[in-house]
Amino acid sequence: MTLFDTVNKDIPAAMKARDKVRLETLRNIKKVFLEAKTAPGSDGELSDAAALKILQKLAKQGKESADTYTKAGRQDLADGELAQVKVIEEYLPKPLTEEEITAKVKEIIAQTGATSMKDMGKVMGIASKQMAGQADGGAISKIVRSILA
């Protein structure tokens, strides 16, 4: 079952449970998925990889919004955003720890034979694909820099 189908299936369950936050979040996810499926240049399908990218983007936006609300003294709005982020994160794969990212990066560096910062692009390209949905690009970049430097 694809992520799109899973979200679709979970909407009626959220309705029955009368879980407003979950229902609103799932409807928003479905809306964004449908927009991606019908976007110009799209083949009408939404792969799980594309859906994961969308979910990561939504989670990141939610966290940034919550941070902005907190700085503005609106903790009530920040809590609402964080509740939605929590629902979105249920559909994302378990994030890798810093040690796991470091191990994978070292493995990739050994495979590619990278020796200096000149090879960072090559390493980042492979690492980003392999750890898509499991690690933030900034965290991967930081670790690659520290190893290659």
- The mean per-residue pLDDT over the stretch 2-14 comes to 92
Identify the residue with better confidence: 44 or 65: 65
Domain closes at, from 89, 106, 136: 89
| Angle of CA points 31, 44, 27, to nearest 5° | 15
pLDDT range class, residue 82, cuts 50, 70, 90: very high
Note the pLDDT of residue 48.
83
pLDDT digits (tens, 9 = 90+) for 87-137: 999 988 888 888 888 888 888 888 888 777 887 888 888 888 888 777 878
Same domain (yes/no): 33, 54: yes
Same domain (yes/no): 79, 113: no
How many domains does the chain contain in total?
Answer: 2
How does DSSP classify residue 117? G
| Spatial contact of 30 and 8, defined as CB atoms under 8 Å apart | yes
Note the pLDDT of residue 35.
92
Same domain (yes/no): 84, 108: no
Q: Under 8 Å CB-to-CB from 142, ≥6 apart: which residues?
A: none
Note the pLDDT of residue 78.
93
Per DSSP, the residues of 34-49 read: HHHHTSTT--S---HH
Note the pLDDT of residue 79.
94
- The answer to whether the Cα torsion of 24, 25, 26, 28 is positive or negative is positive
Same domain (yes/no): 31, 57: yes
Same domain (yes/no): 85, 102: no
Distance of CA 53 to the CA centre of its chain: 5
Same domain (yes/no): 68, 111: no
Distance CA 18, CA 119 (A): 52
pLDDT digits (tens, 9 = 90+) for 23-57: 999 999 999 999 998 888 878 888 888 888 899 89
- Domain with 78 in it: 3-89
Phi, psi of 103 (to 5 degrees): -60, -45
Same domain (yes/no): 40, 107: no
